[in-house]
Structure 1
Amino acid sequence: MSTKMKRILSVTLTVLCLGVFIYAAYGLIDTAIDYYKNWKVLNNVQEKFYAAGPDEVDESVIDSNSDSIRSGFDILLKENEDLVGWITIEDTQIDYPILKADNNVEYLTQGFYKEDNIAGSIFMDFRNDVETPGLNTIVYGHRMKDGSMFEQLEKYQDKDFFKSHQTFQFDTLYDSYEAEIFAVYNTTTDFNYIQTDFASDAAYEQLLTRTKEESMYETDVEVSARDQIITLSTCDYELDDHDGRLVVQAKLVKKG
């Protein structure tokens, strides 16, 4: 190969490598911007929520078909009527509003103000009803590399963390609950742990039994067909790159 051809080949390879680098850098910058925007939006929402005092009830905001909407939520509902609740887990970044659309797709890529964002939102399954909660309330969230959304559910795979964090706070527009964790496990979508309708008590108890069998921990939390549960679901790659899931399930105990 002539010297001239070597030079041409070298320049071509350099240009190609530079192009790949610029493309990759652009993607990283774009992702970083989305992370920052998501943090800024959620920080603003958190400030408004806690400033209003979420443990109080605002008697001035009443739906004719429901109970009083709790303070904190009423303010944020004016900014997004899809707001249905709030979830808080101590010693994690999980301190977020919960949204609900008429499908399970919209909030995969939309933030609180319905802006496009790769982090999406924490959202409730569209089959659930926040006014009359069913037996199994499902809440979804992405696992983001900056530790946001449901990424830190993975802390529950550490036994010491689980032992010291066996409950979390779940609030809806109308009620406040302490969620007592009874199952943590990796699974795939072949297991219908997000089932919301049950033909009988026996069918529901069958699901509860299966979840306890799947769990990586044994707990003292007793769950029966009389109890309501909450299921936190996020992606996980231990069992499958596409259909793997990390699941945390808890019994709901109403406060007050």
Structure 2
Amino acid sequence: MAKYKDKHAETKSKKTKLLIIGSLFTVLIGICLYFVGYYAYQVYQVNHEVKQETKLTKQVVKKTKKSTTTHLGTSDEGSMDINWEKLKRINPNIKAWIYIPQTRINYVVLQGADNTFYLHHDETDKASTSGQLFFDYRQKPNFSEKNSFIYGHDMFDGSRFTDLVKYADKDYFNAHRKVYVYTRTKRYDGTVFATQSNSGTSKAHTMSFSNSAEMTDYIDYMKSRSDVQANDVATSSISKLLTLWTCTGVATVDDAGQPVSADKSRTFVSVSLKEHR
């Protein structure tokens, strides 16, 4: 009788273990399916957003074929007509346009009441996985600042500001140095002269200067920290800056040499801006 009870208890114990294992396996499968489904939805959303943006770009931007003699050569790749009236009707928060040839960066630039809204909303203010490019809310959105900041996501599909991370590569840096930004009334031609990854609270995130000496010190600092050295843009020739910012996605070190985790690391691409003449 005792042996029967022991065998029965053992069988019951095995069944209980199998039931627990089966339940855990079911939960694990459920979690996996949830994340697969969530990722698939994210991919669908981003692809849909890209299609909508491509459609918008075709509607409001037209590359002009006029040939002019500029510091860029005989053809002006930054020459384009932008339908600002249509953009204003779409969203009055659209303040500018940015275009970097041979990259995917060809977007509107907005400005919100803070620096979080357009991380999660598109150019029509609809909720968005990709967000949209935007000016720092504390600055004038017309490139009149000494150092204008534009922020954007580093997206898994290569959209938004993902291409900025590639500037750490010397060949990519040298092949994509021209940046064009536009407002309703002006166009600025830019030249990339430095790039670095750092903490978001580092000196690289300096938006204003008390005097020209501070600005000179900042430019020299950005050059000294740059992953690629470009010696063809003299500090003295820079009167206006544009800093493009995105997440780096890999660990780095800050100004003091302290480690910065991948989720806190930011890429800064420094551009010398000149008003187009």
**Interval of TM-score (by shorter of Structure 1 and Structure 2):** 0.7 to 0.9
Distance 2:156 2:208 in 1: 34
1:80 CA drift (Å): 0.5
1:137 CA drift (Å): 0.8
The counterpart of 2:112, out of the listed 80, 97, 101, is 101
| Equivalent residue, structure 2, for 1:244 | 265
Partner of 1:193: helix, strand, or coil? helix
Say which one has the larger Rg: 2
| Equivalent residue, structure 1, for 2:88 | 77
Deviations, residues 193-222 of structure 1 (Å, cap 9, x unaligned): 232222111111111111111112222112
Contact 2:194/2:226 (CA < 8 Å) preserved in 1? yes
Contact 2:135/2:141 (CA < 8 Å) preserved in 1? no
Question: TM-score scaled to structure 1, two decimals?
Answer: 0.86
- The answer as to 2:108 corresponding to 1:87 is no
Say if 1:199 and 1:163 are closer, same or farther in 2 by CA, change over 3 A: same
Distance 1:28 1:13 in 2: 23
The counterpart of 2:229, out of the listed 209, 218, 240, is 218
Supply the AA of the counterpart residue of 2:37.
Y
Deviations, residues 34-82 of structure 1 (Å, cap 9, x unaligned): 21232122112211222497x9xxxxxxxxxxxxxx7412211111101
- Unaligned runs of at least 5 residues, structure 1: 56-69
Distance 2:83 2:63 in 1: 5
The counterpart of 1:145, out of the listed 136, 156, 159, is 156
1:125 CA drift (Å): 1.0
Partner of 1:78: helix, strand, or coil? helix
Matches within 5 A, 1:1-256: 2=11, 3-51=14-62, 71-131=82-142, 133-219=144-230, 220-224=232-236, 227-236=239-248, 237-239=250-252, 240-256=261-277
Partner of 1:33: helix, strand, or coil? helix
Runs of 4+ with >4 A deviation: none
Distance 2:152 2:142 in 1: 21
1:142 CA drift (Å): 0.5
Distance 2:199 2:113 in 1: 24
1:192 CA drift (Å): 3.0
1:165 CA drift (Å): 1.7
1:175 CA drift (Å): 1.2
Deviations, residues 155-200 of structure 1 (Å, cap 9, x unaligned): 2111111112221222122211221111111111232323222211
CA RMSD of aligned residues (A): 2.1
How many pairs does the alignment contain?
241
Deviations, residues 11-52 of structure 1 (Å, cap 9, x unaligned): 313311221122112211221132123212211221122249
Distance 1:169 1:14 in 2: 54
Distance 1:71 1:17 in 2: 51
Say if 1:104 and 1:35 are closer, same or farther in 2 by CA, change over 3 A: same
Distance 1:114 1:170 in 2: 22
- Higher mean C-alpha displacement, 79-88 vs 30-39: 30-39
Distance 1:71 1:221 in 2: 29
- Higher mean C-alpha displacement, 189-198 vs 15-24: 189-198
**Whose helix proportion is higher, 1 or 2?**
2
Partner of 1:231: helix, strand, or coil? strand
Contact 2:220/2:235 (CA < 8 Å) preserved in 1? no
| Equivalent residue, structure 2, for 1:58 | none
Supply the AA of the counterpart residue of 1:232.
L
Say if 1:226 and 1:158 are closer, same or farther in 2 by CA, change over 3 A: closer
| Equivalent residue, structure 1, for 2:72 | none
1:227 CA drift (Å): 0.5
